[in-house]
Structure 1
Amino acid sequence: MRSLVAVMLLLAGAARAEQACFLGYAGFEEKVPHLDLEACPGGAVKPEEGFCRIALSGADVLVYQFRHGEPEPCLARLDRYAFNDFVARFGITYVKP
């Protein structure tokens, strides 16, 4: 019985580790220079699900997608575009959807 309990605890710990947040928004906000967006480019994330932040890195545009979670939003995806590719895909003006 004890070995069954130990296995269940190990599996529960592994499941929690998979759900762990690689980068929480508080750490990102403090350390990564960025601009806040009211909506994600191309509607990649709906506002009720999360939000996006954007940054420039040389000739690249970085789009950080965060998903709402507990205890704080968590980085879910990072997309990198060459500046010209970003402009071709999303345009040169920002229009809130």
Structure 2
Amino acid sequence: MTATHQPELFKPLAEVAPLFGHHYEWLLNRCKAGAFPHHKIGRRYFMTDSDIAAAQALLAVGATEQRDPHGLRPRSRAHLNGAGRRRR
């Protein structure tokens, strides 16, 4: 018995955007910028399952990476904690 190859289905970005937790236009802008793998047919953009998996891998944050919960950079955090510049 031989395995049959199933072609990957093209999914419109409007269907894919909720998988990323973002709006369609956010995903469209990322595809236009070349940040995510995609397929363009005519004027429309599509993603396959492998494109979606690759894009999600690009967005993944490693477990060892720690981000400041308030989005501050280390210098800003140090300044707020009193380790910033000293005034005379």
Check whether TM > 0.5: no
Shorter chain as normaliser: what TM range? under 0.3
Structure with larger Rg: 2
